[in-house]
């Protein structure tokens, strides 16, 4: 859990991302085992990121899920590699979206923009990877951001 705000819209026109998701923080659960020698299987993680406007403390909980196969055409996809890919893409999406945000940018819209960017980049970075607007109910949510709000 991060104790810092993942993405804070500050009191100026500047937006900062004060936290970063580390690969080990992505908790995947196996939903379907891979058939030996074949591509497939499925693991899923549920991500909840608290987006906060620093000058008003307004916040939105941005929720989504990510899934990866257990085995690709290249072989077994290790858990640490799946975690790194997911964390890297989430952090990149936050930087891209929030670097152009302003004090007036609606937080809900920023969440949707981040999810749209993440859908494109996550699914393009790994064969069989999927972005989900809703978390799989079997994957416990991992909370990021200022949870004291």
In the prediction, which pLDDT does 56 show?
Answer: 82
H helix runs in the chain, sequence order: 79-99, 107-125
DSSP 76: E
Q: Would 15 be classed as within a structural domain?
A: no
Q: Would 2 be classed as within a structural domain?
A: no
Q: Would 36 be classed as within a structural domain?
A: yes
Distances in Å between the alpha carbon of 138 and those of 22, 27, 43, 110?
Answer: 22, 12, 10, 27
The boundaries of the domain holding residue 115 are: 23-46+63-142
Q: Would 51 be classed as within a structural domain?
A: no
What pTM was estimated for this model as a whole? 0.85
What is the domain count for the chain? 1
Q: Would you tell me the crossing angle of helices 79-99 and 107-125 to the nearest 10 degrees?
A: 140
Position with higher pLDDT, 50 vs 6: 50
pLDDT at 149 over 50: no
> Using one digit for the tens of pLDDT, what is the confidence trace for 102-124?
888 899 999 999 999 999 999 99
């Amino acid at each position: 859990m991060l104790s810092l705000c993942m993405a804070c819209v500050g009191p100026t026109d500047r937006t900062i991302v004060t936290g970063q998701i580390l690969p080990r923080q992505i908790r995947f659960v196996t939903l379907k085992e891979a058939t030996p020698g074949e591509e497939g299987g499925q693991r899923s993680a549920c991500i909840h990121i608290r987006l906060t406007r620093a000058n008003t403390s307004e916040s939105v909980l941005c929720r989504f899920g990510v899934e990866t196969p257990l085995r690709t055409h290249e072989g077994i996809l290790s858990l640490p590699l799946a975690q790194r890919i997911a964390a890297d893409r989430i952090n990149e999406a936050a930087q891209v979206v929030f670097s152009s945000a302003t004090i007036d940018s609606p937080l809900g819209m920023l969440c949707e923009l981040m999810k749209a960017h993440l859908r494109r980049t996550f699914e393009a970075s790994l064969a069989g990877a999927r972005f989900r607007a809703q978390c799989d109910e079997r994957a416990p949510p991992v909370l990021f951001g200022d949870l004291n709000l």
